[in-house]
Amino acid sequence: MAPSRPPARRRQAELRWSVAADVLKAYRGEPEASRAELTKRLHLSSGTMTDLISRLDAGRLITETAAAPTGRGRPSTQLLPHPDGPLVLAADITATGWRTAVAGVDGRLGELHGGSHDDYSPTSILDAVEATLNGYRRRYRHRISATSVSLAGTLSGTRVVQSAVLGWQQVELSSLGAGGPLLCNNDATLAGVAEARRGAARQARVSTHLMVLSGAGGGSCQDGDPILGATGASAEYGHLPFGRAPIRCSCGAVGCWDVELGARALARELALDLAGPVQEVTAVREWLAAQSPDAPAPELRAQAASLGRGLAGLINAVDPELVTISGLATDVRRLAPGDFAEAFSQALMSYRRSCPPPVLDAELNEDGPLVGAVELALDKALSPAALSAWVGED
Ligand SMILES: [Zn+2]
């Protein structure tokens, strides 16, 4: 965030702040941890930690309070976001509506706002989101360090290449950044980041997430970082050719998994005549609520088999330690476990069958994309170079 700084000075600043950046990252991964616990986790001496905390406090990044007593030993302290510290903004634009949040260095979502879509016009949706983000900016001014947007679609840089659920093609999101750093990513990919850092996959070094709503999407993370590809459009799992129906997908390809798995596919199979993705997801949720694992309907069994087969394909390709699933995927697996398990096992490479990675239900669910967006914004706002700029070393 100081692009004009000479490389040697920038490198010096990065070295000066790299351990402090590690402390801040470990802190937000575990905001309840005491200072003593973080010191141990980062393999620091207590003296080094004392120096770091003094710098972070003087730099308006974190402050301290007494930690709850834990029995014997010296009382420790707990870290808190500094009351004048940096903040990031996040927005999540889904098929049904949008939500925004502000977060400090602990990554907790605060001041949530949101609305539902009156129509799917990019202008009206983006105007509403931008007005809300600008409200935070007026309130917090210089404290806002980055903005991060989650959107249900394929993104390349700050551009929505296509979104089937919103009906958007080639929509630019840069107005949401107000001239500051702006990150834009797919919602399911961000949900995977959230699970890897704060949810069911936080113990896994490599994890894969699959979110199923209208269609399927996901992402994989290594050491908590998403694998985004050259342009940010990686991990379009819904557009892998795992679908058997010869139907052309909205992306332009034939045979996408997205056309076979999710509310859109189930609504088509059940011949439900519905107006759009919101109605489809609602109707399919109601239909699933009436299903029983004792006698799942053929359409549900087909969904479970497709889910199992596709997840096995992802495991063969990505080699994750752990898989998380969210949205309709959790219900589909729960309601037709036999069909899921058989298809899953059959599609796994044989050497994996005896010990496949666990497939867990996600923990963050609807908050996942917003939490993931905050995480990536804080990566940017709290990088060593950004910390140096924040404390005014330019
Ligand atoms: Zn497709």
pLDDT band at 309 (very low <50, low <70, confident <90, very high): very high
Mean per-residue pLDDT of the chain: 92
pLDDT band at 371 (very low <50, low <70, confident <90, very high): very high
Structure tokens at 249: 């997908």
Structural domains for the chain? 7-81 (1.10.10.10), 87-190+369-379 (3.30.420.40), 202-362 (3.30.420.40)
Residue 47 has pLDDT above 50, yes or no: yes
Centroid of ligand 1 to alpha carbon of 211 (angstroms): 15
pLDDT band at 280 (very low <50, low <70, confident <90, very high): confident
Side chain identity, residue 94: T
Centroid of ligand 1 to alpha carbon of 42 (angstroms): 43
Over the stretch 76-118, which tens digit does the pLDDT of each residue have? 788 999 999 999 999 999 988 999 999 999 999 999 999 998 8
Of the candidates 314, 120, 128, 55, the one whose C-alpha atom is nearest the C-alpha of residue 210 is 314
Residue 281 has pLDDT above 60, yes or no: yes
pTM of the complete model: 0.92
Structure tokens at 299: 């359409």
Residue 279 has pLDDT above 50, yes or no: yes
Centroid of ligand 1 to alpha carbon of 335 (angstroms): 26
Centroid of ligand 1 to alpha carbon of 253 (angstroms): 5
Centroid of ligand 1 to alpha carbon of 210 (angstroms): 15
**Strand (E) or helix (H) holding 360:** strand 359-361
Residue 1 has pLDDT above 60, yes or no: no
Write down the pLDDT at residue 30.
Answer: 87
Write down the pLDDT at residue 4.
Answer: 62
Strand positions, DSSP E, 173-260: 182-186, 206-212, 216-222, 225-226
Centroid of ligand 1 to alpha carbon of 68 (angstroms): 52
Over the stretch 163-211, which tens digit does the pLDDT of each residue have? 988 999 999 999 999 988 999 999 999 999 999 999 999 989 999 999 9
Write down the pLDDT at residue 73.
Answer: 63
Over the stretch 203-231, which tens digit does the pLDDT of each residue have? 899 999 999 998 999 999 999 999 988 87
Residue 120 has pLDDT above 90, yes or no: no
Centroid of ligand 1 to alpha carbon of 43 (angstroms): 46
CA–centroid distance for 67 within its chain: 30
Centroid of ligand 1 to alpha carbon of 251 (angstroms): 4
